[in-house]
Amino acid sequence: MSSACIIRRARLDELPRLTEVEIDAFATLAEALGVVGEAHALPPDVLQGSLDAGLLLVAVDDGDRPVGFLAAEEIEGTLYVIELDVCREWQRKGIGRRLMGAAVEIAEARRLPALTLTTDRYVPFNAPFYASLGFTLSTAEAVPQFLQKKLDHELAVGMDPERRVAMVLAL
């Protein structure tokens, strides 16, 4: 396996593979959180929406097979990162960082002032990783309304309110 990969826009026929990537990557998160349970993947319509908007990026190996992806949507003048996943065998090779860099380029090309996301406060490859890219935690007063709704939904489906945070990268 070569460690090189290319970042490009996803294709429709790759959506099933992206679900596989997300489920594979979940094992790393589950281990970090000390949880057991079935992995849940994004609904197909969410991936389709990102694809249709030109906001679904993939990292592909030298056989053009996706090994990571970033799904985003434009919300209230920001690029909201819905999901970022990399297959376990490809993790810790800079692919997530490269996918985020490509998302920044898209946001800049669209003249969007920021990237936004919600994530786990403590897992090293969540909030600390995003902080290393320049994201900052939003204070409760400064969280944009749409991000607060995302957090509220996450808490409603059982995520830990002490762990979930909103982050912003100003461009």
Q: What is the pLDDT of residues 69-125, one digit of tens each?
A: 999 999 999 999 999 999 999 999 999 999 999 999 999 999 999 999 999 998 889
pLDDT at residue 16 is higher than 70: yes
Residue appearing with tokens 């898209």: 106
The confidence score (pLDDT) of residue 1 equals 52
Q: Residue 51 corresponds to which tokens in the numbers above?
A: 């694809």
The confidence score (pLDDT) of residue 2 equals 54
Task: Give the predicted TM-score (pTM) of the model.
Answer: 0.94
Rounded average pLDDT over 3-10: 91
Q: Characterize the bridge pairing of strands 6-9 and 136-137.
A: unpaired
Rounded average pLDDT over 48-57: 98
Domains by residue range for the chain, with CATH: 6-170 (3.40.630.30)
CB-CB contact of 73 with 55 (8 Å): yes
